[in-house]
């Protein structure tokens, strides 16, 4: 029996040890107007206090504030597994009187992270790449009104091809059960109506167990996730739970009959975190990378054509901004430029081959 055993069945264990030792990175963005419980929810999800030093703005400051990008990173360890969590907050979003294109700073930030990763990936030292790409965006919708506002629709349409968007219905305890279901259905209808592409759960494999398949169905039906955030521990029937106390009773954060907090945590951390990272890498980042390569290729072609035209036309079309110089000096500069373009072209061809191999 030992003679027939090669040993590659231990590969999963080897990979497990490698990644546990290295740790994991995950970048989560939260967006939506103030007062919907974004900070409280993040603290509840990861059982940490990321916002202890936060400054609460006055109403006057909120009206004049522009959209900021605030990034906080914390290392969390659980049962020997280390997670480097980065939370990107967007204070000021939706709080101004005029909220036209308030999504622009958010979109620019996501593109900047793609650009930085693209530069690092294309450089010589690729051993210690820092992945700051945004893997998921929790977009908070207000429980007020009948559906989504124009600002919400503009944001979702602007970012749908840049990041995995998971819609969240904040402060769900302000709605009755009937109102909550109506609100959810209205939001789902509007997502379909406006062709908004939110994060799509992957289909279950045929060999998955029935419990997992049922859990997947429940998660898909819960969109948008209706959540309640609270870091307050209260006692209910001898149990200590996180929740909110009202005159008519208690709302428990981790009670699936009260809200979708457990479902959101299950999806975001326990079942789909790796898929969110995979979709970011294979879809959103690859789209950005392909566009960059296409732009660079076009630039190389234009430079080559311009240099060719310059050589053929002699002195009729001198190189712009180049001082008068002897012919041999001009030819030397052109040769150096051609050599630089040739190197750029080789790099682009190498990157294009890598893209084809990865498909």
Between 44-48, 103-107, 131-135, 176-180, the lowest mean confidence (pLDDT) is in 44-48
User: How far apart are the C-alpha atoms of 157 and 348, rounded to whole Å?
Assistant: 31
pLDDT value of residue 336: 67
Tens digits of residue pLDDT in 224-244: 999 987 878 888 778 888 888
Tens digits of residue pLDDT in 171-182: 988 888 899 999
Structurally, at CATH architecture level, domain 8-296 sits in 3-Layer(aba) Sandwich (3.40)
Is 325's pLDDT higher than 50?
no
Specify whether the CB–CB gap between 42 and 27 falls below 8 A.
Answer: no
User: How far apart are the C-alpha atoms of 175 and 168, rounded to whole Å?
Assistant: 14
pLDDT value of residue 46: 79
pLDDT value of residue 279: 96
| Long-range pairs, 294-301, Cβ under 8 A, ≥24 | 296/344, 296/348, 297/348, 300/341, 300/344, 300/345, 300/348
User: How would residue 288 be classed by pLDDT, with cut points 50, 70 and 90?
Assistant: very high
Is 316's pLDDT higher than 70?
no
Handedness of CA 218, 224, 226, 231 (dihedral sign): positive
pLDDT value of residue 164: 97
User: How would residue 332 be classed by pLDDT, with cut points 50, 70 and 90?
Assistant: low
Cross-strand bridge partners of residue 239: 236
Is 54's pLDDT higher than 60?
no
Between 38-52, 105-119, 138-152, 191-205, the lowest mean confidence (pLDDT) is in 38-52
pLDDT value of residue 326: 44
pLDDT value of residue 222: 92
pLDDT averaged over every residue in the chain: 81
Q: Which residues contact 33 (CB under 8 A, 6 or more apart)?
A: 93, 94, 95, 140, 142
Is 333's pLDDT higher than 50?
yes
pLDDT value of residue 184: 95
pLDDT value of residue 323: 44
**Which one of 251-255, 281-285, 305-309, 320-324 scores highest in mean pLDDT?**
281-285
Is 50's pLDDT higher than 70?
no
pLDDT value of residue 210: 85
User: How would residue 322 be classed by pLDDT, with cut points 50, 70 and 90?
Assistant: very low
Nearest residue to 42 via CA among 231, 243, 274: 231
What are the sequence ranges of the domains in the chain?
A: 8-296
User: How would residue 1 be classed by pLDDT, with cut points 50, 70 and 90?
Assistant: low
Separation in Å, CA 283 to CA 129, 153, 194, 288, 289: 19, 22, 21, 9, 10
Specify whether the CB–CB gap between 95 and 56 falls below 8 A.
Answer: no
């Amino acid at each position: 029996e030992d003679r027939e055993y090669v040993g590659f069945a231990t590969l999963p264990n080897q990979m497990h040890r490698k990644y546990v030792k290295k740790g994991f990175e995950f970048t989560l963005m939260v967006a939506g107007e103030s007062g919907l419980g974004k900070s409280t929810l993040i603290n509840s999800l990861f059982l940490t206090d990321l916002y202890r030093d936060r400054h609460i703005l006055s109403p006057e400051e909120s009206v004049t504030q522009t959209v900021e990008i605030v990034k906080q990173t914390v290392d969390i360890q659980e049962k020997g597994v280390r997670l480097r969590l980065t939370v990107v907050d967007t204070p000021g979003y939706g709080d101004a009187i005029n909220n036209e294109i308030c999504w622009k700073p958010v979109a620019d930030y996501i593109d900047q992270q793609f650009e930085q990763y693209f530069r690092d990936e294309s450089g010589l030292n690729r051993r210690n790449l820092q992945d700051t790409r945004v893997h998921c965006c929790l977009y908070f919708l207000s429980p007020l009104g009948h559906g989504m506002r124009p600002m919400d629709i503009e944001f979702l349409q602007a970012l749908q091809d840049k990041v995995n968007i998971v819609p969240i219905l904040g402060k769900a305890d302000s709605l009755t059960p009937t109102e909550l279901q109506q609100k959810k259905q209205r939001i789902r209808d509007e997502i379909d109506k406006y062709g908004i592409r939110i994060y799509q759960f992957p289909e279950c494999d045929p060999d998955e167990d029935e419990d997992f398949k049922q859990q997947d169905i429940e998660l898909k039906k819960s969109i948008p996730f209706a959540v309640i955030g609270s870091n307050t521990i209260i006692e209910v029937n001898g149990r200590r739970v996180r929740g909110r106390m009202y005159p008519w009773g208690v709302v428990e954060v981790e009670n699936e009959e009260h809200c979708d907090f457990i479902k959101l945590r299950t999806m975001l951390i326990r079942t789909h975190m790796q898929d969110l990272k995979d979709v970011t890498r294979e879809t959103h980042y690859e789209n950005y990378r392909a566009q960059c390569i296409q732009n660079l290729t076009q630039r190389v072609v234009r430079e080559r054509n311009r240099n060719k035209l310059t050589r053929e036309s002699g002195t009729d079309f001198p190189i712009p901004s180049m001082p008068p110089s002897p012919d041999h000096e001009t030819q030397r500069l052109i040769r150096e430029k051609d050599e630089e373009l040739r190197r750029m072209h080789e790099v682009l061809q190498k990157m294009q081959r890598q893209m084809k191999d990865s498909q």
